[in-house]
Structure 1
Amino acid sequence: MPAMWAEIQQLINRFPGKVGIWLENLHSHEHYAHNPDWRVLAASTIKLPMLCYALSTGVDLRKRLEVKPETVAGGSGVLKELSPGLSLPLLDLLTLMIVVSDNTATNVVLDYFGHKEPFNAYYRAQGWRNTYSAGMLSLPDERPDPRRVKGEASTVSAEDLGLLLKRLWHGELLSPEATQTALSILSRQQMTFFLRYLPADLDDLEEGKAPFKLYSKSGEIRQCRHDAGILAKDNLAYSLVVLTETELDPRFHPDHPAVLLIGKIASVLYQHRLS
């Protein structure tokens, strides 16, 4: 891995901000890390451990949950744009939470399971020391989450997400059925940054024409861009987590320096190990 990592390190050194990385061969367990314990604002990557907790409970995924007015959030997602009184199966809400990073769906899921406490207890039990759910996401100032402590934020680290992905891939985190459900949902994410320089796009992945498989969850807020996932091809699979923070450019756009960095790191991994 030295040549590949040297190339990645050059990209890190040129980035105008802080970076956390976890990269691991999921078969040999050879790995490299950069700031692995950095506890960073999670943005929507917190939805990855949330998905795992929800599926770990064994709850009936056909159960329909109401989208209550107090769960309707701003930011990413489509539920906020739909008519009031909607109810959806839990499986659909989990799918929306990952595939289009729907904040309202995330809040409905959080509310159904009893808010942040059971999620955080699960993270602690798994040994994810830097992973924390602070409460509902992206509620307006005039309608705050009454159970969210002022000033708290959801956090993750590259190592925590990397270890989650490894255990998920090897079927050590969830039941076989729940593992397949999680991977299926993660394979359909529509907001990944990893694809920027890879030889396939979302249509290729959906149609099964891509030369690899991708299971991932991204996240972005003004100062952070993240992506965490598994790139797999034939008998090879690598987990890759890239977390970033920079004050250089607060805008949400496809040429943000952190977006380009994440795409370039995924491309380096692919060229060196999967092409």
Structure 2
Amino acid sequence: MSHHGHVALYAKDLKSSRVVAIDADHPVQTASVIKLAILFEAMEQVRSGKARWDEKLTLAKGDGVSGSGVLTFFDTPLSLTLKDVLTMMVIVSDNTATNLAIDRFGVDAVNGRIAWLGLKDTHLYKKIGKPSTAPMPADQPKFGLGKTTAREMEVIMERIGRCQLGAVGEPMQQGDAAICQTALTMLRNQFYRNTIPRYLETLDSSETGSGIGSKTGSLNAVRNDVAIVAGKSGPMILSIFTYENEDKSWTADNQAEMMIAKLARQIVEAWSPEGIDGRNLLPGLGLTGDAAASSPAGASK
């Protein structure tokens, strides 16, 4: 099957530093992939004591928005923990949960964290399905919810995978591994698995859950996926964005989704011919001595 559209890709083998790049610095629509930046901000705020996983957020009448997710169908008012909200935001890409997280942290805080990471072309514009309460940048209509590049979103996912919280070069602190494990558990239980995980799940020989943690993003002409893959030969990050796709169908054999899956398989088979292993998806991805010693949580295979 051919793909009629555009691709931006940045893949990095974290063990060898090998890289594959296609238009990696071209700004693209994030769709729901921008939720990774919200997740990372939450992790940093939990680390600093400004937020707690068990703090309560309230879903009120009128908070529900359309699109992906299920919270919009729940009776209100409803009390949820921050961890529950972020889990819904990641696993089923819940738009209502995303807005609750944005209300909790703020658009400015998320964008401040993005700038702190040194990223120049990544931006969260506003809540989903709600009018903006602040003036919008001139390029917002072009990008919608958020913009990024394949290279810059790889940076955020790599930070999560390596469990690099705090400033660059700062060693892992007590509690960091638990924070990163919480985020990785969300990512590895991603519900939407037709893109990067499609052909890779069969390469995972473990019984401890998926060796892939990912966040997808989709619009009619957009299909994106950014993933951590725990290869037996070493961990890797795959950041793949497609846009201006001719195939706008919402079926399992969408051209762009199939193409992303095939690219992922080619890269992973080249870099980790032995396959992938869910037992390796730990904070630090086996690259530091500070990774959690316990087995990772995840759905049984």
**TM-score normalized with structure 1 length:** 0.85
AA matched with 1:179: C
Question: Is structure 2 residue 158 aligned with structure 1 residue 170?
Answer: no
Q: Distance between the aligned counterparts of 1:176 and 1:133, measured in 2?
A: 27
Deviations 1:125-166 (Å, cap 9, x if unpaired)? 101211111111134xxxx34346387231121001112222
Report the counterpart of residue 35 of structure 1 in structure 2.
23
Q: Secondary structure at the match of 1:22?
A: strand
Q: Quote the offset at 1:49 in angstroms.
A: 1.2
Report the counterpart of residue 184 of structure 1 in structure 2.
185
AA matched with 2:237: S
What is the aligned counterpart of 1:45 among 15, 30, 33? 33
Q: Distance between the aligned counterparts of 2:205 and 2:88, measured in 1?
A: 18
Report the counterpart of residue 72 of structure 2 in structure 1.
80
Report the counterpart of residue 7 of structure 1 in structure 2.
none
Report the counterpart of residue 228 of structure 1 in structure 2.
226
Q: Distance between the aligned counterparts of 2:65 and 2:76, measured in 1?
A: 13
Percent identity between the aligned chains?
28
What is the aligned counterpart of 1:214 among 212, 216, 234? 212
Question: Is structure 2 residue 121 aligned with structure 1 residue 119?
Answer: no
Q: Distance between the aligned counterparts of 1:249 and 1:18, measured in 2?
A: 12
Q: Is the 8 A contact 2:91 2:186 kept in 1?
A: yes
AA matched with 1:254: A
Q: Is the 8 A contact 1:25 1:239 kept in 2?
A: yes
Q: Quote the offset at 1:269 in angstroms.
A: 2.0
Q: Quote the offset at 1:38 in angstroms.
A: 1.2
Q: Distance between the aligned counterparts of 1:26 and 1:118, measured in 2?
A: 28
CA 1:26/1:86 → structure 2, altered by over 3 Å: closer, same or farther?
A: same
**TM-score normalized with structure 2 length:** 0.78
Q: Distance between the aligned counterparts of 1:235 and 1:138, measured in 2?
A: 42
Unaligned runs of 5+ in 1: 1-10
Q: Distance between the aligned counterparts of 1:106 and 1:205, measured in 2?
A: 33
Deviations 1:31-89 (Å, cap 9, x if unpaired)? 12111111111100001111001111121110110013343111000100111101100
Structure having the higher helix fraction is 1
Unaligned runs of 5+ in 2: 167-175, 276-301
Report the counterpart of residue 285 of structure 2 in structure 1.
none
Pairs within 5 Å for 1:139-158: 139=130, 144-147=131-134, 149=136, 152=140, 153=144, 154-158=146-150
Q: Quote the offset at 1:238 in angstroms.
A: 1.0
Question: Is structure 2 residue 63 aligned with structure 1 residue 71?
Answer: yes
Say what the alpha-carbon RMSD is for the aligned residues.
Answer: 2.3
How many pairs were matched up? 254
Q: Distance between the aligned counterparts of 2:9 and 2:165, measured in 1?
A: 21
